[in-house]
Amino acid sequence: MTKLSVNINKFATIRNARGGNNPNLVQVAIDCQNFGADGITVHPRPDERHIRYADVFDLKQIITTEFNIEGNPLEDKFVQLVLDSKPTQVTLVPDSLTQITSNHGWDTLKNHQFLSDIIKVFKKEGIRTSIFVDANLEMIEGAKLTGTDRIELYTENFAQHFRTDKENIIKPYTLAAIRAHELGIGINAGHDLDLENLHFFNQNIPNLAEVSIGHALVCDAIYLGLHNTIQLYKNKLK
């Protein structure tokens, strides 16, 4: 069964809007795990507009499932954060400082040397590595050459066209997953996956190890409750 990692960035956004510690991010992570999440994902950014760097160390102490930290390894502070906290997995994302959210994968050919070098740094410390990529066979093959353990398929394009053309829009993702598996790379996915499109995506992506879902899940939890929402997402992955 595909694992569900809950991205808790949006809970931190709500907390930061008023100051203080409500909602308590540590308790949110504990609850997500107790309610069935297979992992917790955070994506700290340099301006700390949602996840703060200090949050990472507080969370590390209570996570009993898998801890996934996303971010851009061009930032020395991010690299040191990962090395100091030693999560289960680090997902390398090519964000710029001004981006609201991630919006493209790595060019694994153009950035081959940089990615190869930084992946060695993380793997030396026993941290599983994943590279955020588009559903492009050339980029998948480039990812293999970097030495990464996994890729994370960037799924926004799939989500945008799911309602109108799901049979065609899924094809490049399926082919990318097949090629990644042939190359011995693990497959993750994330971005704009939700209760409407998740089951179809999961059914059409062979060997999908993990999805990371935040924004849609948090929005659903407002109406449906966190416990119920996590169970609904888990059911879509069966």
Q: Mutual orientation of helices 53-60 and 25-34 as an angle, nearest 10°? A: 40
Contacts for 99 with CB less than 8 Å, ≥ 6 apart: none
Torsion of CA 196, 32, 105, 156, to 10 degrees: 20
Catalytic residue among 43, 50, 66, 152: 43
128 CB contacts (<8 Å, ≥6 apart)?
88, 89, 90, 149, 150
To the query of whether residue 191 is one of the catalytic residues in this protein, the response is yes
Q: Is 70 a catalytic residue?
A: yes
Beta-strand ranges (E) seen in the chain are 3-7, 39-42, 67-71, 89-92, 128-133, 150-154, 186-190, 208-213
**What are the backbone dihedrals phi and psi of residue 69, each rounded to the nearest 5 degrees, phi first?**
-110, 125
Among 66, 70, 152, 210, the active-site one is 70
DSSP-assigned states of every residue in 59-83: HHTT--S-EEEEE-TTSHHHHHHHH
CA 208 remoteness from chain centre: 13
Examine the residue annotation and report whether 182 is marked as an active-site residue of this protein.
Answer: no
Place of tokens 């909602």: 23
Residue 47, judged by CB atoms within 10 A of its CB (0-12, 13-18, 19+), counts as exposed
| Active-site entry in 50, 66, 152, 191 | 191
| Residues 202, 131: Cα–Cα separation, whole Å | 19
Paired tokens of 60 = 């590390």
Which residues are known catalytic residues? 43, 70, 191
